[in-house]
Structure 1
Amino acid sequence: MADMILRTSLTSPFGRKPRLAAAVLGLSGWIEVTPADTFDDNDSLRAQNPLGKVPTLVLADGSTLYDSRVILEYFDHLAGGGRIIPSEPEARFAALKLQALGDGILDAGVLRRLETLFRDEPSWSQRWLGYQSGKMNRALDVLDMAPPSDTDILVGEIAVACGLGFIDFRLGDDWRAGRSRLAGWYERFAARCPGFAETAPR
């Protein structure tokens, strides 16, 4: 029986982060993934997380943890520490910085998605969409100049991979064009990362 319940959506890139981390750390068997509807006023998610956001982790005692960064740190703690968040300061802050870049790609991508989801096309703010796309493109260019590790699977690599997967799934941007180093890294990461295919959005 699972010790924890992960409230999320199978299409959420932020929800994919802890699912992927759990697979990497060998914790998947401890976790029951339960769908949550962030738009449903009656979903118990809003009692578990006042922000009504996914992912939210429900622990065995009924207490909760959120957001994805906190949940990943908790999973690292459960796995003995230093597994996906290094203990040594220089490596730790490098991993956290890379995670912030991956999460920033996701934040901007989700804002683009919401603009087109909640407004009819004639009302879309092209200025807003361009502003968010600019953030994403600058981050992707930086990642192409210095791709993540081909050996480590840390919080940074997980966040970046989830960001790239979200672009493919929801936005359809041709982010690979002109970014062969990042595209190659993503392909190699997908092949070596436990749970990558199983956690793909669907």
Structure 2
Amino acid sequence: MSSMQLFLNATSPYARFVRVLGLELGLEEQIELIWVDPWQNDPALLAVNPAAKIPTLRCASGQCLSESLLIAQYLQQHPQATASAAAGSEQDLAWLGLGQALMDAAFQSVIHKKYHPEAVKSLLDQRRQAALQRLLAELEQQVDQGKLAASAPTSSLSAGQLSLFVGLDYLAFRCPELDWPTQAPQLAAWHQSLAQRTSLSSTAFH
């Protein structure tokens, strides 16, 4: 029986990151997925998070947690986790930050284009696009230097690596015009090497 409830939708990179991490930690039987629409003031979501943000995790105690990185920290420390996706090293914390930055820049670009199409070439949009370019260049360099390497299908992935994968996947999903794999071919190869991992393929954006 599920002891936690995860409120999410199918297109949020933040929610997918938490869902993937839960799968990697072996907590899928402990987490019930509650699908909601945060853009429609879904009553089920408002009942657990007055800010109407996803992901939100309702713990077995009834306490509700928001913000993906805080939820991730909670899940990593969960006593029923049967696997490890530990964050904590300087490198992995750096990857978590870069993954979050990818998600932030891509998500904000999507919302900007959706609600302010007349200002798509604004200074803020230009800064976001420049940030994405720098992030891709940094990650491409890390693959080239061997810091970010492909893992065997059965090996564990860190929270930071999962965050990077989801961020890159979201960028391809929502900003295909950027065609990031062409700009960062070694990074694209790393991304592709993980694409068939069950936790990632079963949670693909749609």
TM-score (ref. length: structure 2): 0.87
Q: Deviations over 1:53-85 (max 9, x none)?
A: 110001122111121111111111125599222
* Aligned counterpart, 1:83: 84
| RMSD (Å) for aligned C-alpha atoms | 1.9
Tell me, yes or no, if structure 1 residue 23 matches structure 2 residue 20.
no
The alignment status of 1:145 with 2:141, answered yes or no, reads yes
Number of the residue aligned with 1:163: 167
Equivalent residue number for residue 122 of structure 2: 126
Shift, 1:184, TM fit: 0.6
* Aligned residue among 180, 183, 199 for 2:203: 199
What is the distance in 2 between the residues matched to 1:136 and 1:180? 15
Among 113, 116, 119, the alignment partner of 1:116 is 113
Partner of 1:187: 192
Q: CA deviation at 1:2?
A: 1.3
Q: What SS does the corresponding residue of 1:146 show, helix, strand or coil?
A: helix
Q: Residues 113 and 178 of structure 1: is their aligned pair in 2 closer, same or farther, counting only changes over 3 Å?
A: closer
How far, CA to CA, are the matches of 1:81 and 1:51 in structure 2?
A: 32
Please give the per-residue CA displacement for 1:16-71, whole angstroms capped at 9, x wherever unaligned.
Answer: 00111111111111111111221223523233223321100011221111211111
Contact 1:108 1:132 in 2 (8 A): yes
1:132 is aligned with what amino acid? R
Unmatched tracts of structure 2, length 5 or more: none
Q: How many residues align?
A: 196
Letter in structure 2 aligned against 1:108: A
TM-score by length of 1: 0.89
**Match for residue 94 of structure 1?**
91
User: Once the two structures are aligned, what percentage of the paired residues are identical?
Assistant: 25
Query: Does the aligned pair in 1 maintain the 2:36–2:42 contact within 8 Å?
Result: no
For 1:196, what is the secondary structure of its paired residue?
Answer: helix
SS in 2 for 1:44: helix
Runs of 4+ in 1 over 4 A off after TM superposition: 79-82
Instruction: Report Cα offsets for 1:158-188 as digits up to 9, x if no partner.
Output: 1110111101111112001131110110011
Change (3 A) 1:42 1:183: closer
SS at match of 2:77: helix
